[in-house]
Amino acid sequence: MIVFAARSGSTFLISILNQHDNIMCYPEVLQHKTPDQQKIFLEGMVRGDKVEKLDGRRRVWRTCRNRAPMFPLFELKSLFHRPDWIGLKTQLGQISDRAQFRAIAEENQFRIIQLSRRNPVATAVSALNAHRLKEKFSHHNAKAATERLGALHIDREDFDLMLRKREMQKSRMGEFVSSINTPVHRCYYEDMLEDRGQFMGGIFDFLDIPMEQVEYKDIIFKNTPKRLDEAILNFDEIRDAYKGTEFEKYFAS
């Protein structure tokens, strides 16, 4: 179970996990479901039910199929093979009944991967870029190098609102995951970029799965440059606005 903060590389992570023969990880299929629907889905997932049985209206199937380029062989796994490890990714806000989710996770001893990003400033910039991508291409992640957008001019008030919103969501996610009495592996987007092999090795060790020679295909593309002064046109203005605050140090990384 991947519980993640937005803009922390969750789509890229499950695209890698789904390249492993013994893993099938669903996208954000809990979204827009009632507590009863989520309970049915989670309990069915534990049993290993096929996608069409998990959701009679086949919404989950359509979600997976429409994103098939991002999840190699996903349909074949769904139809003909039951991997030993089945999971999904979700944001905290997509969980309709947190007490129910906690109870199911503890009863079945879900292994939870908590994925977030250390740099809140970069997270906020990435979120603003995701909105630009959505407006131009109708999706939040760059699926080709040609979809990468250039640097953007940031409105200070919009940025501050986004920054503090993301920090609050990250904090609440951490508190919720810590409240669940089940194994947790905490990992960070920056480490995934720094050393992908070591990052994935830690996840496979946590899941107690032999690490296969997975071909890490670039199925999605990083849209925001690592250097923030290359991502923000008015970088000096935004950086100076946070001098003396807890966010100042993140403009240098």
* Domain count of the fold of the chain: 1
| pLDDT tens by residue, the chain, 253 residues | 999 999 999 988 988 888 887 888 888 989 999 999 999 989 988 887 655 445 443 444 344 444 444 444 444 455 555 677 889 999 999 999 999 999 999 999 999 999 999 999 999 999 998 888 888 787 777 777 777 788 899 999 999 999 999 999 999 999 999 999 999 999 999 999 899 889 999 999 999 988 766 666 666 667 788 899 999 999 999 999 999 999 999 998 6
Residue 162, amino acid: M
Strand order in the sheet with 112-116: 23-26, 85-90, 2-4, 112-116, 184-188
pTM score: 0.85
CATH number of the domain residue 102 falls in? 3.40.50
The whole domain housing 159 covers: 2-251
